[in-house]
A and B are shown apart, each in its own frame.
Chain A
Amino acid sequence: MALELAQYKSETRPDWCPGCGDFAVLSSLTRALQVLQLPPWNVLLVSGIGCSSNIPGYLSTYGYHGLHGRAVPVATGAKLANPELTVIVAGGDGDGYGIGVGHFVHAMRRNLDLTYIVMNNEIYGLTTGQASPTSEKEHRTKSTPEGVIENPINPLALAIASGATFVARGFSGDVKTLTDVTVRAIKHKGFALVDVMSPCVTYNKVNTYDWFKKRVYVVDKEGHDPKDIHAAWARAIEWPNLERKRERVPTGVIYEANYPTYEELDPTLARHGPPAKQTKLVVENPDEVLREFY
């Protein structure tokens, strides 16, 4: 019997501001899980802290709503302990590209089979409007009243450089592409980043829906080959970049490659299966283990 969309929804109503870009991410993710017919009890959605990190409570899957910046290592541990789970990480740009950026880079170089959805609004929303690691130069915020003087992180370029094997961007104003990209990201074997431009309607008065609508385009429609890493790099640095060109914001699947996942290479999994599923925890031959101490 096919799983219905309703079976993926929880009874808790999102407390995001009306018009928040995160609603589109929630509906795309819910739809993607249903399209893939993944049983909700076999999905673990891990988040950190921030407006967008409330998302696990709005689905009927298993959820873990952890600490600011630490969603990726929690998800890593859970996936390694039980690779049979579909593990999805979700959170904001502050969570993933700011306080948690170290974990983000290391998770990508491991190429663990995780899907990471970053709701990127280029601002700190829950703390009422400070600059984020993706805020553009000159953006005036509560913490940068004279404008940001740092360069923004380019998540797509960082992901390609760090060894992610699926790199995509979505836009909350284009749910169809976002859903398509999310389905492909979850299906992908390896680390998949979906950077979603998810406007903050309350605190980011620069990068609004209108701002994006004028700039976004879908790379598929321009014949982009995501298997070509050089082409992918060229798309990734279209925006943001040091030259501060901001005419075109690419969306869709930017890069896709097939390399062994971390789980496939792990010696413990190969010999004994998932740590969380082993039932024989007693040591059979302690004297053998102790031989080296004599």
Chain B
Amino acid sequence: MKEIAFRVGGAAGDGVASTAETFARLCVRGGLWVHTYSSYQSVIRGGHCWTQVRAGSEPVLSQGEDPDVLIVLNQETADIHVPLVRDGGAIVYDEQLSKLDAHAVNPRVRRVALPMFRTAQDLGESMMKNVVALGASLALLDIPFEPMEKAIREVFGHKKPEIVEMNLKAGHTGYDAIASKGGSLGLGIPIAQGPGRMMMTGNEAMSLGALAGGCRFYAAYPMTPASAILHWMAANGPKHGIMVKQAEDELAVVNMAIGAAHAGARAMCATSGGGFSLMVEALGQAGMTETPLVAVLVQRTGPSTGLPTKTEQGDLNLALGAGQGDWPRAILAPRTASECFTAIVKALNLADVYQTPILVLSDLYLGEGNRTLDRDALDFNVPILRGFVADGNGDGKGYKRYRFTESGISPRAFPGMKGHQFTAATDEHMESGILISDVLAGVPPWVEERRKMMEKRMRKLEGLRSEMSLPELWGPPDADLTIVSWGSTSPTVREAIGRLSAEGHRVNSLEFSDIFPMRGAEIQEIFEPLKTTIMIEANYTGQFARLLRAETGCKADHLFTKYDGEPFWPREIVDRAIQVMKHGA
């Protein structure tokens, strides 16, 4: 595979993210596969942020490693990133914005000084310095200018024609300057007219999944890194019949969604750990009233406010334990953007069929990073399962909303259906919905009734268990080492395994994407033949390792956790795998 890593760094407000996104989109249009990772902070102006775009001729699984091309928009970027640029690469900088430490620069890296700021200012808008740098980057990487011209026209076309012309001039100035500064780097990236792939984040893929899956009510309160779902839904939902509401807090969000679901709309909400913590009581409510709901938890670094702009897989215990008492739930943890789409469709169907909350976990790394997708990865032709609904011919008596059934699934009725009136209660109730809690609790026949109602609800957990896909064992079956992972970490593990294989090691990957409830016996069968196992996850205590052991008895031999807020880099996994294979620890 031919590949490059492009990195741009500056202060918040410098346009780092949009510059990187434009570059990534040009790569995708040129037939490459991209993976972006943004490191940013919880400020609107200032600070230090950078985005890496890794682009390759084949699917790229992670953010890669150090950059080939670095755009420096401020001094901090120079100080931190200049020493990292790889042999044969280039640093594009502006002497007016930053000074390079001559000792820090790798002699095999080209320094490209461009008066980006002045050029932009002379053209009338200093923010266009990024456009100058982007033009230069294209020339360095043999990417033709035409796609950039098209992109500029798309972005600014609705504004004044002068603005389009200014940006085109800025881009050309950067592009043309490279000819006199050593020309292209000759890294050999095969840019062509691409086959028309898409680029989107996990959050966007989830939004599309909600649309495809027939979601009709979406509520949220802004919270990084889940807000982009709200933004896409707000911009697009109403066109397609989805009602989208920003509520006063996550308590209102989840209760509104439950109210909408109770009335018959497929409902979803998304948040991060703090908001999810506020939703906890209501999730149990939906478990008790048997109301379908999809709740998405896009994890960031905890505890508490933690690092709001950093990634982690630390909220698994929160999702598993949300709500007092036991109630049936399923937890899905998509690994990729395309799985973000399918997981939401699946969650919406499971919620309606099992009449209980389904939780979907992703994280900042997957939710906010851009990935390349083939059109085939998003199949909108999906079944919409509404589950067991009453026939609508009730006589006003004898309807049992919570009828005891073998599956634990009882016939739903929606307010407005004649003759099926009932009260859904968070108190323990009879099959009819009438409360047991207040005057009947503890009275002999009702002790039995409570037990039976509890068992009825929990039978749905067994149904959900049968719906969970088994973990995927990827790579050679007779490997010496198996790396176990869940959710967004799995693709990076695959990349590490690719490198380990190239070095002659036999390593494979056991990847969980449907993570609760677990099909214990079958997972045991997969797990037991494995020689040596290492669990890799982004939290302090190894929350998934513990879940796996509790649910299946399978214990990973080694645990590699990370909790510094950064995603796993492939080299870290390679190093740890080699360490385990060589030294057994």
Asked if A64 CB lies within 8 Å of chain B CBs, one says: yes
Q: Would you list which residues of chain A between 110 and 153 have a CB under 8 Å from chain B? A: none
Q: Is the CB of B378 within 8 A of A74?
A: no
Task: Verify A77–B217 contact, CB threshold 8 A.
Answer: yes
- The answer on a CB contact under 8 Å between B243 and A275 is yes
Which residues of A sit under 8 angstroms from B417, Cβ to Cβ?
41
Look across to chain B and name the residue whose beta carbon is closest to the beta carbon of A291.
B198
Contact of A41 with B198 in the complex, beta carbons under 8 Å: no
Which residues of A have CB within 8 Å of B204?
A: 293
Is B438 touching A74 in the complex (CB atoms < 8 A)? no
A-B contact pairs, 5 of them (CB 8 A): A65-B426, A81-B260, A281-B384, A282-B380, A289-B236
CB proximity of B553 to chain A, nearest CB, Å: 37
Whether the pair B243, A74 counts as a contact (CB closer than 8 A) is no
Q: A84–B416 contact, CB under 8 A? A: yes
For B264, give the chain A residue with the smallest CB separation.
Answer: A276
Residues of chain A within 8 A (CB-CB) of B248 are 102-103, 106
Which residues from 373 to 406 on chain B have a C-beta closer than 8 Å to any C-beta of chain A? Answer: 373, 375, 378, 380-381, 384, 396
Interface residues of B in 475-504 (CB under 8 A from A): none
Q: Which residue of chain A lies nearest to B240 when distances are taken between CB atoms in the complex?
A: A283
Q: Are B258 and A74 in contact (CB under 8 A)?
A: yes
Q: Which 10 A-B pairs have the closest CB atoms?
A: A77-B259, A63-B423, A281-B214, A276-B264, A73-B255, A77-B256, A272-B241, A275-B216, A74-B259, A77-B260
User: Who on chain B is nearest to A55 by CB?
Assistant: B423
Does B238 touch A at the CB level, under 8 Å? yes
Decide if B243 touches A80 in the complex (CB within 8 Å).
Answer: yes
| Chain B interfacial positions (CB closer than 8 Å to A) | 28-29, 196-200, 204, 208, 211-212, 214, 216-217, 219, 236-245, 247-249, 251-253, 255-267, 281-282, 285, 289, 373, 375, 378, 380-381, 384, 396, 414-427, 433-435, 438-439
Q: Are A15 and B438 in contact (CB under 8 A)?
A: yes
- The answer to whether A202 has its CB under 8 Å from any CB of chain B is no
Contact count band on A: 35 or more
Contact in complex: B198, A294 (CB < 8 Å): yes
Which of A77, A85, A106 touches B416 (beta carbons < 8 Å)? A85
List 20 other contacts, CB 8 Å, given A63-B423, A77-B217: A15-B439, A41-B396, A57-B423, A63-B422, A64-B289, A73-B255, A74-B259, A82-B416, A102-B252, A106-B248, A268-B244, A277-B264, A287-B375, A289-B240, A290-B375, A293-B199, A293-B204, A294-B29, A294-B198, A294-B199
Shortest A69–chain B CB gap in Å is: 8
CB contacts (< 8 Å) of A106 on chain B: these are 247-248, 252
CB contacts (< 8 Å) of B373 on chain A: these are 293
User: Given the complex of chains A and B, what is the CA–CA distance between A275 and B243 in angstroms?
Assistant: 7
- Beyond A275-B241, A290-B198, is A281–B216 a contact (Cβ under 8 Å)? yes
CB of A61 within 8 Å of the partner chain: yes
A76 at the interface (CB under 8 A from B): yes
A98 within 8 A of B: no
B-chain residues with CB within 8 Å of residue A278 when the two chains form the complex = 216, 241
Query: In whole Å, how far is A261's beta carbon from the nearest beta carbon of chain B?
Result: 15
Does A218 interact with chain B (Cβ within 8 Å)? no
Complex interface: chain B residues within 8 A of A293 (CB): 198-200, 204, 373
- Nearest Cβ on chain B to A223's Cβ, whole angstroms: 38
Given A15-B439, A70-B251, A73-B255, verify A62-B421 contact (CB < 8 Å): yes
Other-chain contact of B378, A80, A84, A290 (Cβ < 8 Å): A290
> Would A64 and B435 count as touching, CB distance under 8 A?
no
Contact at A70–B384, with CB atoms within 8 Å?
no
In angstroms, Cα B240 to Cα A271, docked, is 9
> A44 to B425, alpha carbons, bound, how many Å?
13
Contacts of B236 in A (CB 8 A): 289
A124 to B380, CA, bound (A): 52
Identify which of A15, A39, A293 gathers the most chain B CB atoms within 10 Å of its CB: A293
Tell me the complex Cα distance, A85–B241, Å: 19
Docked-complex contact A65 and B252, CB < 8 angstroms:
no
Q: Report B-chain residues with C-beta under 8 Å of the C-beta of A12.
A: 434-435
Contact, CB under 8 Å: B438 / A54: yes
Determine if A41 and B243 form an interchain contact, defined as CB atoms under 8 angstroms apart: no
Q: Does A37 contact B (CB under 8 A)?
A: no
A82-B264, A277-B264 are known contacts. Are A102 and B285 too (CB-CB below 8 A)?
no
Point out the residue from A39, A40, A78, A272 that lies within 8 Å of B259, measured CB to CB. A78
Contacts between chains A and B (CB distance < 8 A), count: 214
Interface residues of A in 191-236 (CB under 8 A from B): none
List A residues at the B interface (Cβ < 8 Å).
12, 15, 39-46, 49, 54, 56-57, 60-67, 69-70, 73-82, 84-85, 102-103, 106, 266-269, 271-278, 280-283, 286-287, 289-290, 293-294
**A64-B424, A65-B423, A294-B29 are contacts. A271–B247 as well, Cβ < 8 Å?**
no
With the chains together, A273 CA to B242 CA distance in Å?
Answer: 10
| Most A CB within 10 A of own CB, among B266, B378, B426 | B426
- Point out the residue from A67, A74, A272 that lies within 8 Å of B262, measured CB to CB: A74
- In the complex, residue of chain B having the shortest beta-carbon distance to the beta carbon of A71: B255
Partner of B242, one of A268, A286, A290: A268
Contact partner, B243, options A63, A268, A283, Cβ 8 Å: A268
Task: Let me know if A73 and B384 touch, CB within 8 A.
Answer: no
Which B-chain residue is minimally distant from A75 (CB atoms)? B259
Question: Contact at B255–A276, with CB atoms within 8 Å?
Answer: no
The answer to whether B238 and A268 touch across the interface, beta carbons within 8 angstroms, is yes
Note all chain A residues with C-beta closer than 8 A to B439.
Answer: 15
**How far does the Cβ of A283 sit from chain B's closest Cβ, in whole Å?**
5
- The interface residues of chain B lying within 8 Å CB-to-CB of A266 are 243
Which residue of chain A is the closest to B232 with respect to CB atoms? A292
Q: How far is the CA of A62 from the CA of B262 in the complex (A)?
A: 11
The answer to whether B424 touches A63 (Cβ under 8 A) is: yes
Task: State whether A65 touches B425 (Cβ < 8 A).
Answer: yes
Alpha-carbon separation in the docked complex, A267 to B199 (Å): 29
Q: Are A77 and B267 in contact (CB under 8 A)?
A: yes
* Across-interface contacts of A56 in B (CB, < 8 A): 423
Q: Shortest Cβ distance from B401 into chain A, in angstroms?
A: 10
- Contact A41:B237 (CB < 8 A) given known A65-B424, A77-B263: no
CA distance A41 to B242 in the complex (A): 25
B241 near A268 (CB under 8 angstroms)?
yes
Which A residues are CB-close (under 8 A) to B249? 102
Report Cα–Cα, A85/B253, bound state, in Å.
Answer: 21
Expressed in whole angstroms, the minimum distance between the Cβ of A55 and any Cβ of chain B is: 10
Residues A80 and B260 in contact in the complex (CB < 8 Å), given A275-B242, A293-B198: yes
**Can you name the residue of chain A whose Cβ is closest to the Cβ of B235?**
A292
Q: Given the complex of chains A and B, what is the CA–CA distance between A237 and B244 in angstroms?
A: 37
Residue of B nearest to A290 (CB): B198
